[in-house]
Protein backbone atom coordinates (compact mmCIF):
# COMPACT_ATOMS: atom_id res chain seq x y z
CA UNK A 1 0.00 0.00 0.00
CA UNK A 2 1.31 3.43 -0.94
CA UNK A 3 1.78 6.07 1.73
CA UNK A 4 -0.39 9.16 1.87
CA UNK A 5 2.48 11.24 0.48
CA UNK A 6 2.95 8.83 -2.45
CA UNK A 7 -0.78 8.92 -3.19
CA UNK A 8 -0.67 12.73 -3.19
CA UNK A 9 2.44 12.76 -5.38
CA UNK A 10 0.94 10.43 -7.98
CA UNK A 11 -2.25 12.48 -8.15
CA UNK A 12 -4.50 9.91 -6.50
CA UNK A 13 -5.41 12.49 -3.87
CA UNK A 14 -6.55 15.82 -5.28
CA UNK A 15 -6.91 18.49 -2.58
CA UNK A 16 -8.48 20.84 -5.13
CA UNK A 17 -11.33 18.43 -5.80
CA UNK A 18 -13.42 19.36 -2.79
CA UNK A 19 -16.73 18.47 -4.40
CA UNK A 20 -18.59 21.59 -3.31
CA UNK A 21 -19.28 22.48 -6.94
CA UNK A 22 -21.65 19.51 -7.11
CA UNK A 23 -23.90 21.32 -4.66
CA UNK A 24 -27.09 22.60 -6.34
CA UNK A 25 -26.97 26.00 -4.63
CA UNK A 26 -23.37 26.52 -5.75
CA UNK A 27 -24.35 25.58 -9.30
CA UNK A 28 -27.18 28.17 -9.21
CA UNK A 29 -24.79 30.84 -7.97
CA UNK A 30 -22.22 30.01 -10.65
CA UNK A 31 -24.93 30.07 -13.33
CA UNK A 32 -26.13 33.48 -12.10
CA UNK A 33 -22.59 34.85 -12.18
CA UNK A 34 -21.98 33.48 -15.66
CA UNK A 35 -25.30 34.69 -17.09
CA UNK A 36 -24.84 38.20 -15.68
CA UNK A 37 -21.25 38.41 -16.88
CA UNK A 38 -22.35 37.32 -20.36
CA UNK A 39 -25.20 39.85 -20.38
CA UNK A 40 -22.99 42.72 -19.22
CA UNK A 41 -20.27 41.81 -21.72
CA UNK A 42 -22.83 41.84 -24.57
CA UNK A 43 -24.59 45.06 -23.56
CA UNK A 44 -21.81 47.30 -22.31
CA UNK A 45 -19.65 49.19 -24.76
CA UNK A 46 -16.52 51.29 -24.74
CA UNK A 47 -15.07 52.40 -21.43
CA UNK A 48 -17.91 50.79 -19.42
CA UNK A 49 -17.21 47.37 -20.96
CA UNK A 50 -13.47 47.77 -20.41
CA UNK A 51 -13.99 48.72 -16.76
CA UNK A 52 -16.35 45.79 -16.20
CA UNK A 53 -13.90 43.31 -17.77
CA UNK A 54 -11.05 44.79 -15.71
CA UNK A 55 -13.23 44.38 -12.61
CA UNK A 56 -14.09 40.77 -13.50
CA UNK A 57 -10.43 39.91 -14.14
CA UNK A 58 -9.27 41.54 -10.91
CA UNK A 59 -12.02 39.80 -8.92
CA UNK A 60 -11.05 36.46 -10.45
CA UNK A 61 -7.37 37.00 -9.60
CA UNK A 62 -8.30 38.00 -6.05
CA UNK A 63 -10.46 34.89 -5.61
CA UNK A 64 -7.60 32.72 -6.87
CA UNK A 65 -5.19 34.32 -4.41
CA UNK A 66 -7.70 33.95 -1.57
CA UNK A 67 -8.24 30.27 -2.40
CA UNK A 68 -4.48 29.67 -2.43
CA UNK A 69 -4.10 31.50 0.88
CA UNK A 70 -6.90 29.43 2.41
CA UNK A 71 -5.32 26.20 1.17
CA UNK A 72 -1.90 27.14 2.57
CA UNK A 73 -3.40 28.27 5.88
CA UNK A 74 -5.36 25.02 6.19
CA UNK A 75 -2.32 22.93 5.33
CA UNK A 76 -0.22 24.78 7.91
CA UNK A 77 -2.94 24.36 10.52
CA UNK A 78 -3.02 20.61 9.86
CA UNK A 79 0.76 20.43 10.06
CA UNK A 80 0.65 22.32 13.35
CA UNK A 81 -1.82 19.75 14.73
CA UNK A 82 0.63 16.98 13.81
CA UNK A 83 3.54 18.93 15.29
CA UNK A 84 1.72 19.56 18.57
CA UNK A 85 0.38 16.02 18.73
CA UNK A 86 3.43 13.95 17.89
CA UNK A 87 6.63 15.99 17.84
CA UNK A 88 6.76 18.68 20.53
CA UNK A 89 8.17 17.58 23.91
CA UNK A 90 4.79 17.78 25.65
CA UNK A 91 3.25 15.56 22.96
CA UNK A 92 4.28 12.27 24.53
CA UNK A 93 1.19 10.17 25.41
CA UNK A 94 2.81 9.37 28.74
CA UNK A 95 2.81 13.07 29.68
CA UNK A 96 -0.97 13.19 29.38
CA UNK A 97 -1.46 10.12 31.54
CA UNK A 98 0.50 11.58 34.46
CA UNK A 99 -1.10 13.90 36.98
CA UNK A 100 0.06 17.48 36.46
CA UNK A 101 0.96 19.25 39.66
Summarised one tens digit per residue, pLDDT across range 44-92 is: 999 999 999 999 999 999 999 998 898 889 888 888 888 877 776 665 5
For residue 16, pLDDT over 80 is answered with: no
CA–CA gap between residue 96 and residue 24 (Å, rounded): 45
SS3 assignment, position 2: coil
The length of the chain is 101
**Other CB atoms within 10 A of residue 46 CB:** 7
For residue 100, pLDDT over 70 is answered with: no
Amino acid sequence: MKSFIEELYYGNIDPQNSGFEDDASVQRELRTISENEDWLTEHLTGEEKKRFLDFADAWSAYNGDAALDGFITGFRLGARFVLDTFILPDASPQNYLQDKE
